[in-house]
Each structure stands twice: as structure tokens, then as C-alpha cells.
Amino acid sequence: MSTNPAQAAPVDGSGEGAPDARQLRVILIAVSMALMAVIASVSGLNVAQTEMAVDFETSQSTVLWIINIYTLALAALLLPLGAIGDRIGRKPMLIGSLLVFGASNVVAAAAPTAEVMIGARVASGVGAATIMPITLAVITSTFPEEQRGKAIGVWTGVAGGGGILGMFLSAFLVDVADWRWLFALPIALVVMALALTLKSVPNSHERSGHSFDTVGALISVVSVAALIFCLQEGPERGWTAGLTLASLAVGLVAAAVFVAWELRRRDASLLDVRLFRERGLAGGSITLIVVFGVQSGIFVVLFPFLQAVVDWSSLLSAAALMPMAVAMMMASGLAPRLSMQTSPRTTMSAGIALTGIGLALMALLVSVDNGYLSILPGIIVMGVGMGLAMVPSTEAITRSLPSEKQGVASALNDVTREFGTALGIALLGAILSAGYRNAIDDKLDGIPEQAAEPAREGIATALEASGSAGSSAKELVDVARQSYIDGWQQAMWAGVAVMAVLFVYIILRGPNQAAPTATEDEAKTEDTATVAAH
């Protein structure tokens, strides 16, 4: 089995040859805007939970479903919709998904009830599940080999830093206007992306000699949906709750059935699972799961730190993440060149090491007194590390599948991100919460019980309960903030340990071949399936 399946020769929509430099820039802008719309919608509503609960007169549980159902639909449908895009054509699928995504966001912005909002968010997730893999597949099937790495670097930078930018803009809109204006950003991005796609993005698709793997697609939906549901609901319902354990069991059984089915289908499979034996696919996937897990987990623990410990507003807290986004995007632009000059494994290892160092800095330097400045060096170092690690990981995944499967390769890349996000939020959040509770239990002597009991639940409830602590109010606030720091440090050190294990794995098993030259790539395309341009 080849470790470097061939990539598609660049195609355009006119049949008149490869796109010129100007058209390639427009294509990259179009897919970046489409991707930004999807990423911004993942994190945007988090800043408006209270406002939605009041407007819809609904519970916090329902509000969490409004937020989580989007991610659930997105993750579950990525693989089958990416494969369908390979067959039908990437341009028409991108246009159709942008229309679905844009229309559902319009409905969400005007939703009169929570039920309508949930339906709109499901539709948005369906559109996003096509947009994400198609945007990357357009890059890998259109850009010539010598420019593909740089384009993937831009895509990765948007995927990594776009969530932070979207969160900041969302917090700004909630502060100055109304939470319903949160949907203005993705709608505007969709309109611009649609106009550029219609004008400049070429089409390509797979000419397949076998039927679509419908059974494999359905099993993958069940497996991913059940596992993501487990990770989302575990922190809320409890990890030993019946529904949590049932969803975990369904997800694992479906995953095992999926592997068995795909091995049976072999060349006619949705995803050739045998490719995970290869260094590129395995190393890239594991790295993305861990890096995105750490990033998402950091967001979960960072916002309470900034709002409850440092006492900043939602807008200022979101702005505090911008240095990470800038560092990540700059490093993403540098990563392709480093990979070519050294190797993907070296670049990935450097990024993983820097991410671990950033986490260690945030564990060692964090303090209540120095607030944001105590964690800023760690945030910046982490951003650089994640940018360096994500780009070669993404490229390793896309290069591991043949040209006619680039929609599936891109979808797999996105699925790993979603799993990493869910895992990071669940695990780092749980470690911090446990560390906080253990620390504050030892510091509540002398605090009135009516204030001490809610203080054990979390720092937000502790600050709220300080009003009923009488003369002990300041002491309760101080011990709650210090306890959060104690839990924070435990979460950071756990992240360092995970990054250390990943570093050793990539050193031993990471992809060690630089991208082949254009000449080598063209030679390898001779024996692969044809990508048709329309």
C-alpha cells in the first residue's frame, strides 16, 4: 500500500486549464469565508446563553441543546456528506450547502421559540457538515502542489483562529446590540462566499466505479453522533448516568461495526480504515484530536478565570484570546515552509513541544494578583505551537487518501477536530472542577454554611453566594478565586502530560517525508482515478 496516494492535478471549471494566480487567490478567499462562517457559528452562541434563556423563557438545559445540537449534527454528517461531495461535484455541493447554511441562520435570527431555534441549528449543522470538508477538498483538488501547503496553512489558520475571532465579534454584538445580531456575521460571510464561489471556484468530482457506501455512511453517523452526545452530556448528566453510558456503548459498538464493514468493502468503502496503519493518517489524526482538545479545553477554563477571577466582561474576555488567534494564524502561515525545509514530523514535534511549554507557563505563572498578564506568555506560546502542529497534521491526512477521496479526507480531518473539541471540553473542564472542589473544601472553615455550600459548586456560584456570607464575604471571594487557580494548575499540568505523550509518539511514529515535488506528484497521478472538471 502506498504511503503517499496521489493528489489530483489542479482543475478548473471551464476546462481551459489550471486557474491562474489571481483566481487561486479568489478561490482561497471564498473557501476561507465559508469556513469562517461555520467556525464562528460553533462558538458564537456561548456568549448569549443568559439572553436566550430569558427571550425564549426556557431552561439552561434547552439553551445548551441549542448550542450543542449544531456541533452534533455537524460532526455526525461530515464523513457521508464529504463523500457525497466527491461524487456529485464539489462546487454544486458547496453552493447548495452555503444556501442551506445561510437560510437556516436567517431563520435562527428570527426564531420565535426555542423549538424553532433548535430546528434551525440542526439545518445549520447539516450545511456546515458539507461546507467544512468541501472547502478543504477544493484546495487540495485545485491548487498546484507547490502552492497547496501554503493554502492549507491559511485554511488551518482560519479553522483554528476563526473560533476566537468569531467569539470576540459575537461578544461585541451582544454588548452593543442584541443576541440575535450574532447571526449577522455568518450570514454576511455566506453571502460573500457564495458570490465568489459562483464566479471563481472550479468544480471537480470523482468518477467512481462502485456504488456509494450507504451502509457505512449510516453506521458512521450513528457512531459519531452517539460518541459526541456522550461527551457533550457527560459533564451535565454525570459520567455514570444511564443515558451517558448507553450513548457511549452505542457509539463504541457502531464504531466496531463500521471498521468491520469497511474492511469487508475494501476498495468500495466509504473510508479505507487500513490507511490508519500509515504514519501520516494516524499521526495527523491523533495530533489534531489532542491539539484541538487542548485548545477547546483552555477556552472552557479561561473564560471563568477572566470573568470571575480577573473580573472582566464577556467582551474583554473574548478580546483577551486574540493574541492566541494572531499567533496561531502567523504560525500556520510559517508551518508549510518549515515542513518543506525539514520534515512534517519535525514541524509537528516543534509545535507540540511549544504547546506543552505554553501550558506549563500558564500553570507556573498564573496568579490572582497578576491576572491576565500572568497567563499571556503561555497563551502566545500555545498559539504558535498549535499553528505549527495543525498545518502538517492536516496536510498529512489529506495526502493519505487518493485524489478522488479528498472530500472524505477533509471530512476525516474535521471529524478529528470535533472529537478533540468535545474531549478537551469534557476532560479539562472535569479536572478543573474536581481540583476546585478539593481545594475549596479545605478553605471554607469559618464561612457560613448557607454561603459555603453553593461555593463548592463552582466559582460563579461562590461569588454569587458571597452576598449572604456577611463579614466573611471578602474571605469567600478570595478563597474561591485561589481555589480556581489551584484547579486551573491541575488542568494545565494534565494538558502538559498529554502533550508530552503526543510528542514522544510523533517523534517515533510521525510522518517523516516532506511533500513530494510537483514532478513526483504528476508521476503518481498516472495510475489513480480521474478527477473530472466541469
* Over residues 284-306, mean pLDDT: 85
Separation CA 157–CA 164 (nearest Å): 11
User: Which among 168-182, 311-325, 398-412, 503-517 has the top mean pLDDT?
Assistant: 311-325
DSSP label at 367? -
Q: pLDDT (tens digit, 9 = 90+) per residue, 147-162? A: 888 888 888 888 877 7
- Evaluate if residue 9 carries a pLDDT over 60: no
- Please tell me the predicted confidence (pLDDT) of residue 426: 80
Task: Give the helix ranges, DSSP H, for 238-321.
Answer: 242-265, 279-304, 314-319
- The length of the chain in residues reads 534
- Evaluate if residue 268 carries a pLDDT over 70: no
Q: What is the DSSP annotation of 301-341?
A: HHHHIIIIIS---HHHHHHTTHHHHHHHHHHHHHHHHHHHH
* Over residues 507-515, mean pLDDT: 72
Q: pLDDT (tens digit, 9 = 90+) per residue, 325-336? A: 889 889 988 888
- Evaluate if residue 524 carries a pLDDT over 50: no
Cβ pair 379, 352 in contact under 8 A: no
More confident residue, 426 or 120: 120
Q: Would you place residue 107 in the very low, low, confident or very high pLDDT band (cuts 50, 70, 90)?
A: very high
* Widest CA span in the chain: 80
- Evaluate if residue 511 carries a pLDDT over 50: yes
Q: Which of 48-57, 251-260, 385-394 has the lowest mean pLDDT?
A: 48-57
Nearest alpha-carbon partner for 75 in 121, 128, 119: 128
CA distance from start to end of the chain? 31
Q: Would you place residue 256 in the very low, low, confident or very high pLDDT band (cuts 50, 70, 90)?
A: very high
Quick one: fold of 278-517?
Growth Hormone; Chain: A; (1.20.1250)
More confident residue, 466 or 424: 424
More confident residue, 456 or 81: 81
Q: Which of 220-229, 316-325, 458-467, 510-519 has the lowest mean pLDDT?
A: 510-519
- Please tell me the predicted confidence (pLDDT) of residue 384: 94
- Please tell me the predicted confidence (pLDDT) of residue 359: 95
pTM: 0.80
Q: How high is the mean pLDDT of the chain?
A: 81
- Evaluate if residue 409 carries a pLDDT over 60: yes
- Evaluate if residue 530 carries a pLDDT over 70: no
Shared fold status for 1-203 and 278-517: yes
More confident residue, 16 or 484: 484
Domain locations in the chain as residue ranges: 1-203, 214-274, 278-517
**Cα–Cα distances in angstroms (integers) from residue 362 to residues 209, 303, 368, 470, in the given order:** 53, 14, 12, 34
Cβ pair 299, 151 in contact under 8 A: no
Q: pLDDT (tens digit, 9 = 90+) per residue, 208-222? A: 667 778 888 899 999
- Evaluate if residue 462 carries a pLDDT over 60: yes
**The CATH homologous superfamily of the domain defined by 1-203:** MFS general substrate transporter like domains (1.20.1250.20)
